[in-house]
A and B are shown apart, each in its own frame.
Chain A
Amino acid sequence: MNSPIGKDAVKQALSAHAAIGLLASAMLYLVCLTGALAVISEEWQRIEQPDAPEMPAIAPEAVQKAVTQILDDEKALKKTSHLYVHLPTPGLPRTTITTDHRAVHVERTGEIAGREENGWTEFLGALHYQLHLPGIIGLAIVGILGVMMIALSLSGVIAHPRIFRDAFRLRARDRGGIALADWHNRLGVWTLPFSLAIALTGAMIGLASVTGYGLAASFYEGNLEKVYAPIFGGEGKLDAHDAPPPDVAAALRDMASRAPQAQPYYAIIHDPLTRGQHVQIIATHPRRLIFGEYYDFDAAGRFRGKAGLSDGALGQQVAASSYNLHFGNYGGLIVKIAYLAFGIALCAIIATGTSIWLGKRERRGLYHPRLRNGWDGVVWGIPAALGITLAVRLIAGQDAPLIPIFWSLLALILGLCIAWPPQRAAKPRLRQLLGFALAACLIGALLPQLG
Chain B
Amino acid sequence: MIMPALWLWVGGLAATMAVLGLRAAWSRQHRSTTANALCWGFMGLALAIGWAAAGAWGMAVVSLAGTACAFILLAQAAITAPTGKASASTRRAHMLPEKGEALHLWRRIATFLLCVPVALAVALLLALAARAIASAAGWGEADSNVLTLFLMPLCWALLLFALLMTQGRRAQARVLAALASIPILILLLERLA
How distant is the Cα of A79 from the Cα of B48 in the complex, in angstroms? Answer: 51
**A53→B143 CA distance, assembly (Å):** 42
Q: Contact between B150 and A330 (Cβ–Cβ < 8 Å)?
A: no
Q: What's the Cα separation between A248 and B148 when bound, in Å?
A: 36
| Beta-carbon contact of B142 and A312 below 8 Å | yes
The proximity string for A residues 322-348 relative to B, scoring 1 for CB distances below 8 Å and 0 otherwise, is: 000100001100010010011001000
**Quick check: is B122 within 8 A (CB to CB) of the other chain?**
no
Of the four ranges (under 10, 10 to 19, 20 to 34, 35 or more), the interface on chain A belongs to 35 or more
B177 within 8 A of A: no
B60 touches A330 (CB 8 A): yes
**A190 touching B90, Cβ below 8 Å:** no
| Separation of A359 and B92 alpha carbons in the complex (Å) | 11
**Interface residues of B, dominant DSSP:** helix
Q: Does residue A22 face the partner (Cβ distance < 8 Å to B)?
A: yes
**B77 close to A363 (CB less than 8 A):** no
Which B residues are in CB contact (< 8 Å) with A342?
67
B128 → A minimal CB distance (Å): 5
Bound together, the chains give a CA A148 to CA B156 distance in angstroms of 9
Are the C-beta atoms of B161 and A215 separated by less than 8 Å? Answer: no
- In the assembly, what is the distance between CA of A325 and CA of B111, in Å? 33
Distance of A51 Cα from B120 Cα, bound (Å): 48
Task: Please state if A146 and B88 are interface contacts (CB–CB under 8 Å).
Answer: no
Q: Which B residues are in CB contact (< 8 Å) with A357?
A: 93, 95
Residues of B within 8 A of A14 (CB): 91, 93
Residues of B within 8 A of A208 (CB): 149
A173 touches B88 (CB 8 A): no
Chain A binding site: helix, strand, loop or mixed by DSSP?
helix
A289 CA to B51 CA, complexed, in Å: 12
- Contact flags B95-124 to A (C-beta < 8 A → 1, else 0): 110110000000000011000100010001
Q: How distant is the Cα of A218 from the Cα of B186 in the complex, in angstroms? A: 12
Instruction: Tell me the count of chain B residues lying within 8 A, CB to CB, of chain A.
Output: 75
Cβ-based interface call for B127 (8 A): yes
Kindly identify, within residues 174 to 216 of chain A, every residue whose CB is under 8 Å from any CB belonging to chain B. 174-178, 180-181, 186-187, 190-191, 193-194, 199-200, 203-204, 207-208, 210-212, 214-215
Measured between alpha carbons, how far is A200 from B90 in the docked complex, in Å? 32
List, in ascending order, chain B residues with CB within 8 A of A155's CB.
161, 164-165
Given contacts A170-B74, A312-B142, contact A151 B160 (CB under 8 A): yes
Residue among A20, A308, A338, A341 making CB contact with B160, cutoff 8 Å = A20
B118-146 interface (Cβ within 8 A of A): 120, 124, 127-128, 131-132, 135, 140-146
Asked if B178 is at the interface of the complex by the 8 Å CB criterion, the answer is: no
Q: Which 8 A-B pairs rank lowest in CB-CB distance, beginning with the nearest?
A: A177-B88, A18-B93, A203-B153, A315-B146, A16-B164, A150-B157, A315-B143, A230-B141
Question: Can you list 18 residue pairs at the A/B interface with Cβ under 8 Å?
Answer: A13-B165, A19-B95, A20-B164, A147-B153, A167-B70, A178-B88, A187-B74, A203-B153, A207-B152, A211-B152, A227-B145, A313-B143, A315-B145, A321-B56, A331-B64, A338-B67, A359-B88, A366-B96
